Amino acid sequence: MRKFLIDTDTASDDAVAMCMAFRHPDVEVVACTVVAGNVPLPQAVQNALYTVELCGVDVPVYVGADRPMLRDLITAQEVHGEDGMGDIGLPLSGRTASDGWAPQVIIDTIRSNPGEITLVAIGPLTNVAIALLMAPDIAGLVERVVIMGGTGEHGPGNISPTAEFNFWVDPEAVRVILRSGMPLEFVGWDISIASAVVTTARQDQLRALGELGNFAIDIQATLQSYAWEETRLEGPDFPDPIAMAHAINPSPATVEHLGVDIAVGPDPMRGTLIVDHYGFSQLPKNVHVVTHYPEDAFFTMLYELLG
């Protein structure tokens, strides 16, 4: 069994990604750590606990950072709903997280399982950055770090013309991680809109799978409207699930090892990923950037795991 640690700001696409990991026969999710991002921290924790319960797994959920390292929190509730799960009336309250603080849990889990943990970060990177600042040694003890964030190959951004939401929320945290020496793999929003758009036909296929397939579509109610009206896609896209697909099976992906930095200055460049494709800036090669993940490979995995 491969050991995954999922760091999430649980909203509608995060929940689908979590279900994929929970359902994979070769993956043991040892913990979920939660960070503020898509929704405020208390709501993100409740959403994670609900998803764990729905999947019937025994995975501890830990509370983490309630705001970015140096900035005020700005959420994406206009995209995912006030509750982050499409505002469809799910009972998203009353559950209790496990004792422990997420950054310390990240440290302890990696140190206790040297060379064995795949850290899958699908929200702002605040928890991970705090853990690195507290314990820089974990950078060399983790097996893989798969991150949903940025726009590594094609653009555009989904919160500004050039920035993706997770990296825009806490760009200082991204910079800590980029300079940490961790074995980083980035799956950007550009990969999602190229290969993970859930068209009407794909929604029908997911609903035909039963409970989890219906859940995966129902909680996209707000995102579906946002996709049609704002991002002009054929349906909601699944950035966190396609990042999870890469974490589970990286073999279909096209990947380039590149030098990467991030803009931390004011808008309009805040959170923009700087990817040195041609070596102009002589950045050290610090990230394996996914430039393509085939949509057939992604959706085949998604249907199998939610079915």
Count the neighbouring beta carbons within 10 Å of the beta carbon of residue 83: 22
Active site residue 296: no
Q: What are the residues whose beta carbons fall under 8 Å from the beta carbon of 240, sequence distance 6 or more?
A: 8, 13, 14, 16, 17, 122, 148
How is the chain split into domains, by residue range? 2-306
Residue 27 predicted with pLDDT over 80? yes
- So what's the pLDDT on residue 109? 98
Residue 155 predicted with pLDDT over 80? no
What is the C-alpha separation between 166 and 177, in angstroms, rounded? 13
- So what's the pLDDT on residue 225? 87
Indicate the average pLDDT of the chain.
Answer: 96
Count the neighbouring beta carbons within 10 Å of the beta carbon of residue 267: 13
Per residue in 172-211, pLDDT (tens digit) is 999 999 999 999 999 999 999 999 999 999 999 999 999 9
What is the C-alpha separation between 117 and 119, in angstroms, rounded? 6
Looking at domain 2-306, its CATH architecture is Alpha-Beta Complex (3.90)
CB-CB contact of 158 with 196 (8 Å): no
Per residue in 251-279, pLDDT (tens digit) is 999 999 999 999 998 888 999 999 999 98
Give the pTM: 0.97
Which tokens in the block code for residue 121? 């970060």
- So what's the pLDDT on residue 265? 87
> Of these residues, 7, 9, 83, 261, which one is catalytic?
9
- Rounded (to 5) percent helix, strand, coil in the chain: 40, 20, 40
